[in-house]
Amino acid sequence: MTGSPSKAGDKEIWRMRLTVSLILCGSLMWLSGGCRGGLDGASGDVRVVIEGGGPFPEALRGRWQADRDGWQLVFEADGRISAAVISMGRVEVRPGATTTVPTRSGGQGVFEPGVWTTHYVPDTNELTVKISMDYVRVEMGENTLEGKSSDIFAGKVALSEGLWQAEWTTFTDYTARTPQGQTFKLATDATYGESKLLTFRKVQEK
């Protein structure tokens, strides 16, 4: 009998996680009807580390798009990340700037970035990127999701092919709240996170 409440609670948390995931897949949209903007004036707290102190490869400059989960990263000539389309809501965020977008349910999504990092090793073509979101709040109808996340992408880049095979490890710490006052913790393991492989390709933009 003592295990029943725990099983019921686990089932309810799983149901809430699934509901939140499904809502987030389509809840956010820009007023203009798209999810991307220009790159003028992009700035903010971005750290760039190039082993050996050499230049950032020209072949890496531009927009890179993952084969799933919505991720896009835009690198400048010096290795700075000037914009990122994050997985949650497919929203484009710029470093050093809070992004606020409307949701289809009439609420708002607020995305505040933290420090972003680019680390490149020329000898091995190893590229590591860290995208930190210090604060995220999304209104989904009468429900809200609030918290923070950190996403790390690491792998070798095939510069001549415009291909980056990266292991994506995400660390999330979210709390979902219902109108009834229920709260559900939606967090990954603080040490290991959750990982999957992504393939990024360089996008040829006009």
180 token code pair: 């009834």
Task: Please give the distance of CA 81 from its chain centroid, rounded to a whole number.
Answer: 13
* pLDDT tens by residue, 72-120: 999 999 999 999 999 988 899 999 999 999 888 788 899 999 999 999 9
CA 127 to chain centre: 17
Q: Which residues lie closer than 8 Å to 14 by C-beta, 6 or more apart?
A: none
Q: Is pLDDT larger for residue 89 or for residue 167?
A: 167
- For 42-78, write each residue's pLDDT tens digit: 345 899 999 988 899 999 999 999 999 999 999 999 9
Q: Are strands 194-203 and 183-187 parallel, antiparallel or unpaired?
A: unpaired
Is the pTM for the entire model greater than 0.85? no
The reported pLDDT for the residue numbered 178 is 86
Per the model's pLDDT, the better-predicted residue between 34 and 118 turns out to be 118
d(CA 6, CA 191): 24
User: Would you state the pLDDT for residue 136?
Assistant: 94
Q: How many CA atoms lie within 13 A of 196 on its CB side?
A: 9
Spatial CB neighbours of 202, under 8 Å, sequence gap ≥ 6: 59, 62, 63, 64, 162, 163
